[in-house]
Amino acid sequence: MKIHRPKILIATIAGAALIARVFAGIPVIDAANLANSQISHIATIAKWVENIAQLKTQITQLKEQVSIQDQLRNWTGNPSDAAKILSLGILNESDLLRDYGLTRDDIARAVKSLDTLSRTDGNTYRSVYVPDLDGGTAQYDPLTHRRHALLDARADNTRAVADQTRERERELLEEIALTLSELRSGATDAQVQKLTAKLIVLNGQLSQAETTRRRQMDEVILQKIANDNRRETEQLAAAELAAKDDFLANQRVTAFMRSINPRKNAR
């Protein structure tokens, strides 16, 4: 049998080419590249998991902050609402601007000098108004007795102020006790601040009442000091005037005696 070698060789070469062409369309799987791809994918997933955990933590922290802010808002309260609830009690404008007794000028204008002569101060003193030897009424100098009338008037005013300020102190102490009770049950910080400010004002008013009473007492003391000083001044002036009058009287007596002494006249 005769074999044609060139045809067989051509067929073999053609078949090999066909097989190479078929296998050229199939990707070559590299084990190292596949392992690196899997590792990168796992790392990406791990990063995603970490980011999701951080996001959950941030959300939790945000919720906690919102809850804390709500709690603070509820505790601090609304100042306008606290002002509506707060009762000022006896701290009205008229109470804060209250005056006690009469002023110094009012007393000076109202006093009558000779009233001090009939003053008994609740039967503590005897009336100075007494008849003279003829049974008539003595004539007194109003200016001489005005200083004593002023002292009496200031003493009366001090007693009135003391009574008024003690009544005011009683009102303030009752209001302080009530405010302290409200302060203990204060639900919000706004209420606590409002009540604290009210307590400060109440204590200031309490101190003012005490100061006013002391000032009135000082007025009486100052008037007494002024009277005593004036009396000493008048006594000193009277003594100086008496000394001068005695000197002048001695001169006149001497001159008169010389005028009636015949021996001295002869000389």
Counting beta carbons within 10 angstroms of the beta carbon of residue 123, is it exposed (0 to 12), middle (13 to 18) or buried (19 or more)? Answer: exposed
* 81 contacts 190 by C-beta, under 8 angstroms: yes
Contacts 24+ apart (CB under 8 A), 240-244: none
Beta-ladder partners of 137: 131
Counting beta carbons within 10 angstroms of the beta carbon of residue 104, is it exposed (0 to 12), middle (13 to 18) or buried (19 or more)? Answer: middle
Task: Report pLDDT for 1.
Answer: 44
pLDDT tens digits for 28-41? Answer: 455 666 666 767 77
Alpha-carbon gap, residue 207 to 213, rounded angstroms: 10
- At 245, the amino acid letter reads D
Alpha-carbon gap, residue 112 to 125, rounded angstroms: 18
Please, how many CA atoms are within 13 Å of residue 29, restricted to the half-sphere of its CB? 3
Of residues 134 and 217, more confidently modeled: 217
Q: Tell me the helices (H) and strands (E) count for the chain, helix number first.
A: 9, 0
Q: What is the mean pLDDT of the chain?
A: 77
pLDDT score of 228 more than 80: yes
Q: Domain ranges for the chain, please list them.
A: 5-75, 79-266
Task: Report pLDDT for 3.
Answer: 47
Rounded mean pLDDT of 254-265? 73
pLDDT tens digits for 39-91? Answer: 777 778 778 877 888 888 888 777 767 666 555 555 455 555 544 555 556 66
* 120 contacts 127 by C-beta, under 8 angstroms: yes
Rounded to 5°, the CA angle 167-172-173 comes to 100
